[in-house]
Amino acid sequence: MELYGIRGPAAPLASERDQNFRIGADHVLKISNGGESRAFLELQHEAMARLRAAETGLEWPRVAVSPAGEDIAVAGGHFVRLLTWIPGTPFAEIPERTPELLDSLGRALARVDLALAGLDRPAAHRHFHWDLRQAAEARQHLALLPEARRKLVEPFFAAWERVPWPALPHSIIHGDPNDYNVLVRGGRVVSILDFGDMVWSATVCDLAIALAYAMLGEEQPIAAAARIVAAYREVRPLSEAELDALYPLAAARLAMSVCYCAWQAAAAPENEYLQISNRPAWALLERLAALPEGWPTDVFRGRAAAREGLLARRRRHLGPSLSISYREPLHITHGRGAYLYDSAGRAYLDCVNNVAHVGHSHPRVVRAAAEQMARLNTNTRYLHEALVDYIERLAAMLPPPLSVVYLVCSGSEANELALRLARAHTGREGVLVMDTAYHGNTNALIDISPYKFNGPGGRGRPPHVTVLPLPGTGEMPPIPHDIAAFFCESALSCAGQVILPPGYLREIYGKVRAAGGVCVADEVQTGFGRAGTHFWMFETQGVVPDIVTMGKPIGNGHPLGAVVTTPGIAASFANGMEYFNTFGGNPVSCAVGMSVLDVIRDEGLQENARATGEYLMAGLRELQARHPVVITDVRGLGLFLGFEMAGEREATELVNRMKDRGVLLSTDGPRHNVIKIKPPLVFSRADADLLLARLEEVL
């Protein structure tokens, strides 16, 4: 009243360093902290005036002039200013950030940066502890954090250290477009408040700071950030160096925030404002720490723009019989653990890629491959430790008399070789298989895969093949007396995640052997600990096969397969004709295979499959109890699970909607109505919870 001649109720507003009050409906009274200089306040006013003149499409506070003609008054030794109030809601309090809102934030930031470009005043060249260039100061407070949190945050500071500051354009920046300073009205950003953090710094820091806060609480933080970045770049293009620095700077801002919070909380435990963004910041840092290196920057660079072109180019030259998943195909660029990451910044919980057994791009597997590849890659015609070590290790994982190993490059090659072994050993052609089975993509294997020969484009069952009905669906035909082999998965994948009834294989193995045939366990999908209770699924049936075939998980994505058989069968096959496989058993593949076995052991993945599988199964059963009409059956063992839905339409719809919610699933079974769940074995309880929560939403 004394200074400005206005009167009204004064409500305190949160601030880190100043004292601010809302006065009546239209004004904010700002009492600066004792350390503020007049020149710096004048700079703030100049910046606001400049922004007002720049046609940013945004609103900016006006500075009231006191009856004494001052825009900066002095009271009690402090500078005092009165600004107009801009109505709106802080970005932080907007429950749903629409793409339009994110776009408007990106544009607003770019317009501010453009408007402030060219402005330079000595007052901006100050040492300011929130300036991203000064992150090292915040880093000093790391010691106040508990060890686990320190370890979480330190890599973000390490990445900040590599930011090439001289390569970044500098200007006076707003300095603090955090989610409480960004004002929203009518679904778009109308102003960015509080110029008290203005500083001469890298221009890109404003965008980085805004991203740090805009990501808080987002289900897909990088996708939200990418949206802002793309909108920003339409108004103010970013240089290569700025694009590279953006993500490390955004993450560094969060790291600074939690460090200062720890420091300030220790000094002033009563200031609540200090704590406001602390918990969400930790949650976000934890999410960011789990992301693959380089992915956010890739996304910010606009890799998604290639997506449409990719589909067209793929169609021009890739055989049309290769399908692509989902109505809207995914453009996955990175993988880590049980997650896949796309070019648009979305993370997906991967519940189907059973090849990435120990987790996508597991660092130990990657290192094993890279190191061996850098040293030597040849073939099995030379002596090499990697080959011998690996076949010893693999053979030791199987019950006797299974002890002779052949290394190949795929599940199909493994089954193809198994068929040759069985035929060489028995001198017969005939094969017994399960209905809906798939054993591989070669001519001979299509002939023993009802899934293919009875499916679209198939030529029906060849005369040498006998098909057994799925358990519980029909009469068991007599076992022919001229068969070479019985091929059977130890739990049925393509048939729709079917667990065989107890004693099933024991009975049929008995009949097959009595007829002179050999028993082949196709463990391509089911092996390597997925069953949880056992390392091999056949062990759950209490049988020992004559031949075991392996693929998919054995190399965690590296093309590797294996056949393990008895010395007797191997001897029958050794008829003088050499078996040579150019790539099978090469030192790189062996190093990879060995590292996969190491990781399964060292990370306790078989036990995780058992425990997490049990937990997930219980959750699925609960889901079925609540939705008995849509979910008609739940089954599985370990992390080999599935649930049956009323029909194919429901299953397809569910798979697509789950994808939209960041969870990858797929369908299987003769009626395509079974949702299969066979995630990487690193799948955690938290992952299971996420899957169940999303399923509940979609159902």
Interface residues with ligand PMP (CB under 6 A) are 410-412, 415, 438-441, 489, 493, 522, 524-525, 551
Which of 274/508 has CB closer to ligand PMP?
508
* Smallest separation (angstroms) from ligand PMP to the CB of 504: 17
Beta bridge partners of 549: 522, 563
* Smallest separation (angstroms) from ligand PMP to the CB of 370: 23
Q: Return the amino acid letter for 460.
A: G
List the one residue out of 495, 488, 499, 509 whose CA is nearest residue 540.
Answer: 499
Specify the DSSP element, H or E, that contains 48: helix 38-53
Which of 77/319 has CB closer to ligand PMP?
319
Which of 184/446 has CB closer to ligand PMP?
446
* Smallest separation (angstroms) from ligand PMP to the CB of 452: 11
* Smallest separation (angstroms) from ligand PMP to the CB of 603: 24
**Shortest Cβ contact with ligand PMP: which residue?**
411
662 Cβ neighbours under 8 A, 6+ residues apart: 219, 220, 346, 347, 348, 349, 694
- The answer to whether 213 and 178 are in contact (CB under 8 A) is yes
Which of 251/639 has CB closer to ligand PMP?
639
* Smallest separation (angstroms) from ligand PMP to the CB of 483: 19
Could you give the CA distance from residue 370 to residue 349 in angstroms, rounded to a whole number?
Answer: 26
* Smallest separation (angstroms) from ligand PMP to the CB of 299: 30
Bond preceding residue 401 cis, omega within 30 of 0? yes
**End-to-end Cα spacing for the chain:** 61
- Tally of CB atoms within 10 A around 662: 18
Beta bridge partners of 518: 485
Beta bridge partners of 287: none
Could you give the CA distance from residue 662 to residue 347 in angstroms, rounded to a whole number?
Answer: 6
Could you give the CA distance from residue 211 to residue 279 in angstroms, rounded to a whole number?
Answer: 17
Which of 351/524 has CB closer to ligand PMP?
524
* Smallest separation (angstroms) from ligand PMP to the CB of 156: 39
Which of 228/592 has CB closer to ligand PMP?
592
> What is the residue whose two structure tokens read 């979609």?
698
Which of 20/586 has CB closer to ligand PMP?
586
Could you give the CA distance from residue 534 to residue 311 in angstroms, rounded to a whole number?
Answer: 41
Could you give the CA distance from residue 486 to residue 522 in angstroms, rounded to a whole number?
Answer: 10
* Smallest separation (angstroms) from ligand PMP to the CB of 462: 18
Beta bridge partners of 519: 486
Give the Å distances, CA to CA, from 102 to 179, 205, 248, 364, 575.
12, 17, 20, 38, 70
Which of 492/590 has CB closer to ligand PMP?
492
Which of 296/551 has CB closer to ligand PMP?
551
* Smallest separation (angstroms) from ligand PMP to the CB of 539: 17
* Smallest separation (angstroms) from ligand PMP to the CB of 418: 10
Which of 323/575 has CB closer to ligand PMP?
323
What are φ and ψ of residue 295, in 5° steps?
A: -65, -50
